[in-house]
């Protein structure tokens, strides 16, 4: 098996835990090499290993997408919903072929009236637009030709089900199982008391325009950020292809919520608790 290794954090280069993982993979017969760009991917590569946290996984996505490779996230970070697997889990799974390839929905983005500067026009977690100053941002959203009420807020995001535990969670969006075929439209710190995040079908087309006192706005696709003119028009829809991701065993998303985010943690939930 030929494995491409992707690392973005300097602190992990030469780290003893990383070196131990690479040595263990070589022991089971894996061929390893390092990559930084899509051009570094060699013919015959089977899997792209993302070594780090979820931020590293997001940075690895363009490389994997360019070559239709599955990404396997090895957790050397913190929570890890995309990079959720411990090094030994990865070694065992690759040795025993104890894994499956799943597909994750991607957002495809186009912006009229702005230059994205060569940024990869896709997002695995979310697309967001936000204010550059203290002035409130008005966001007009049209879903499949139907206009939503204007959001007056710090900004707005459109997230995938994969991204429901990322930025969307922080702004009060709902948690969705990763295989849910939905997108989330959610305001960022809204100034309207009567607006809520909205779940829409994953085949919807979302068009966004802005009302701002500022000339520019901050535009982000996952962990890539630029400034765009406030007059720009943003269109978000499902990408034609999905991102391939390695899943080891029967990954339990609900259990991950309980252990990583302490979902439902309450002293009254203890088995020995007498009510």
Classify residue 85 by its DSSP letter.
B
- 214 is a catalytic site residue: no
Q: Which of 54, 96, 154, 222 is catalytic?
A: 54
Which one, of 147, 164, 223, lies nearest residue 199 by Cα?
Answer: 164
Contact 90, 100 (CB under 8 A): no
Catalytic residues: 54
């Amino acid at each position: 098996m030929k494995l491409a290794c992707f690392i973005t954090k300097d602190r992990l280069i030469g780290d003893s835990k990383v070196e131990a993982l690479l040595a263990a993979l070589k022991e089971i017969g894996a061929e390893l090499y390092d990559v930084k760009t899509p051009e570094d991917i060699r013919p015959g590569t089977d899997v792209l290993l993302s070594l780090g946290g979820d931020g590293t996984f997001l940075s690895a996505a363009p490389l994997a997408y360019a070559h239709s490779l599955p990404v396997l996230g090895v957790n050397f970070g913190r929570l890890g919903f995309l990079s959720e697997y411990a090094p030994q889990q990865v070694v065992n799974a690759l040795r025993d072929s104890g894994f499956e390839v799943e597909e994750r929905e991607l957002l495809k983005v186009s912006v009229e009236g702005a230059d994205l500067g060569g940024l990869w026009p896709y997002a695995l977690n979310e697309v967001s637009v936000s204010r550059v100053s203290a002035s409130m941002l008005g966001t007009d959203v049209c879903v499949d030709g139907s206009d939503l009420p204007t959001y007056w807020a710090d900004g707005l995001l459109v997230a995938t089900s994969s991204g429901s535990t990322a930025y969307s969670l922080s702004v009060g969006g709902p948690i969705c199982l990763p295989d849910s075929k939905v997108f989330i439209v959610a305001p960022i710190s809204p100034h309207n008391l009567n607006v809520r995040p909205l779940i829409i079908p994953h085949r919807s087309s979302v068009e966004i325009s802005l009302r701002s006192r500022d000339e520019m706005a901050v535009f982000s696709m996952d962990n890539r950020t630029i400034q765009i003119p406030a007059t720009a028009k943003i269109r978000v829809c499902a990408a034609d292809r999905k991102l391939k991701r390695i899943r080891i065993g029967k990954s339990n998303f609900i259990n991950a919520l309980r252990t990583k985010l302490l979902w439902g943690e309450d002293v009254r939930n203890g088995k020995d608790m007498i009510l």
